Amino acid sequence: MPSNLLVTGGAGFVGANFVHHWARAHPEGSLVVLDALTYAGNLASLGALEGGSRFSFVKGDIKDSELVSSILKEKNIDTIVHFAAESHVDRSIYSPDAFIETNILGTFRLLEAARGVWLKGDGRKHCFHHVSTDEVYGSLNPGDPFFTESNTFSPNSPYSASKAASDHLVRAWHHTYGLEVTTSVSSNNFGPYQYPEKLIPIVIINLLENKPLPIYGDGKQIRDWFFVEDHARGIELVLEKGSGGERYNIGGNNEWANIDIVNLICELMEEAFSVNGKYKNQFPNATSVIKGKAKTLITYVKDRPGHDRRYAIDATKIQQELGYSPRESFETGIRKTVSWYLENEAWWRSVLDGSYKDWMDRNYGVND
Ligand SMILES: NC(=O)c1ccc[n+]([C@@H]2O[C@H](COP(=O)([O-])OP(=O)(O)OC[C@H]3O[C@@H](n4cnc5c(N)ncnc54)[C@H](O)[C@@H]3O)[C@@H](O)[C@H]2O)c1
């Protein structure tokens, strides 16, 4: 059973949700977060855990093999949960270098550090869990069957190509060196602590600021949306019961077109404002929401180059072999998400700094 965890990228969106879930569900053992705190990492996402005796945070790079090796030894780590990555497709199109560095070279260095300490060193029982994405499988046409674990890789963006490369490295370190590994593959996550460069937080925050809601192309791109806490529970199950060398798709069967999501968020936001009067005072800029005209902010922008049309994941294996099932539907998860952003203004305000605004201007050209 995993006891002392090293979580890479634990100050990012999915990593932070996993860390909170694990800390709540496992009162024993220790947890170290290693995170370089890039623009996407935010210590405030881990705030409640700081100061706890079982929790420690190390600011550092997964490429720093010496640092990783010393953490593995000194903290008696038996399980690595590897989230750290450059994760935003649009950024990978503008500047792919960081994606090659972190996602490929970083994963390689991490694997080598684990091999050095666990296999050449103390021979301790161990597991290296790699967190991957359905984007490694490529894009689906309407009517195509969902991606299964045995789909061939067909990545289309620099992001997905770098993640596919890291998946191959993890597999090879298992087969060649005998490192105990598991890999989980998830679809588009949403929920608390997501950096506001991804669709759902952008839409929520722009509604509150009365800014345009940017929609790529015709808005009909389909994604299989998955509530982040269900993803955390799926990874937990793989860590506890998964078989070495195996790959598990984790998903919730929630295919939604981008434009339908944006419409739904507009409706939920109007509902939240009409039910709870405090939001009108708290967010006086949200004039379109207050007037019940949130959808007028929808603005179509030029599509991203090579934009994948559809992803959808078949999670039968984890359901049948490990007994997994998600707790949230898309509708219940999105309600919780809208409510979280309404109640955690200080968190998202703290990430909306100058560099974020420059990026939004460059990418969508719709911010004022
Ligand atoms: N967000 C999703 O919808 C989704 C879906 C499937 C899989 N995933 C995978 O989950 C993982 C986490 O995704 P996310 O959305 O939380 O990403 P994120 O961008 O929000 O967080 C990434 C974290 O990694 C850290 N990091 C980046 N480079 C680093 C380095 N060199 N050394 C140490 N830390 C570094 C960042 O500071 C940040 O805290 C990624 O591997 C991603 O491919 C994400």
Position in ligand 1 atom list of the atom nearest CA 62: 32
User: Which structural domains are found in the chain, ordered by start?
Assistant: 5-191+225-253+307-328 (3.40.50.720)
Amino acid type, 268: L
d(CA 152, ligand 1 centre) in Å: 23
Backbone angles phi, psi at 233, to 5 degrees: -65, -35
85 lines ligand 1 (CB under 6 A): yes
pLDDT tens-place string over residues 163-196: 999 999 999 999 999 999 999 999 999 999 999 8
- Specify whether 159 is catalytic: yes
Handedness of CA 117, 26, 51, 40 (dihedral sign): positive
Per-residue pLDDT, 368: 40
From residue 172, how far is each of 42, 99, 257 by CA, in Å? Answer: 32, 20, 36
Nearest CA to ligand 1 atom 25: 9
Per-residue pLDDT, 309: 79
Q: Are 55 and 328 in contact (CB under 8 A)?
A: no
194 lines ligand 1 (CB under 6 A): no
Position in ligand 1 atom list of the atom nearest CA 106: 31
326 lines ligand 1 (CB under 6 A): no
Per-residue pLDDT, 305: 79
Candidate list 35, 86, 134, 236, residue with the active-site label: 134
Pocket test for ligand 1, best of 38, 80, 193, 225 (most atoms within 8 A of CB): 38
Report DSSP letters for 185-211, one per residue: EE--EESTT--TTSHHHHHHHHHHHT-
Q: Are 148 and 247 in contact (CB under 8 A)?
A: no
Per-residue pLDDT, 365: 61
Per-residue pLDDT, 53: 81
Pocket test for ligand 1, best of 7, 8, 13, 256 (most atoms within 8 A of CB): 13
131 lines ligand 1 (CB under 6 A): yes
Q: Are 328 and 252 in contact (CB under 8 A)?
A: yes
- Specify whether 279 is catalytic: no
Distance between CA atoms of 156 and 335, rounded to whole angstroms?
32
- Specify whether 193 is catalytic: no
59 lines ligand 1 (CB under 6 A): no
Q: What's this model's pTM, rounded to 2 decimal places? A: 0.94
pLDDT tens-place string over residues 252-273: 889 899 999 999 999 999 999 9
Structure tokens belonging to residue 248: 């598990």
Candidate list 61, 78, 137, 159, residue with the active-site label: 159
Residue 223 contacts by C-beta under 8 Å, 6 or more apart in sequence? 187, 188, 255, 256, 258, 310, 311
Count of CB atoms within 10 A of residue 366's CB? 16
Enumerate residue ranges in the chain where pLDDT < 50: 367-368
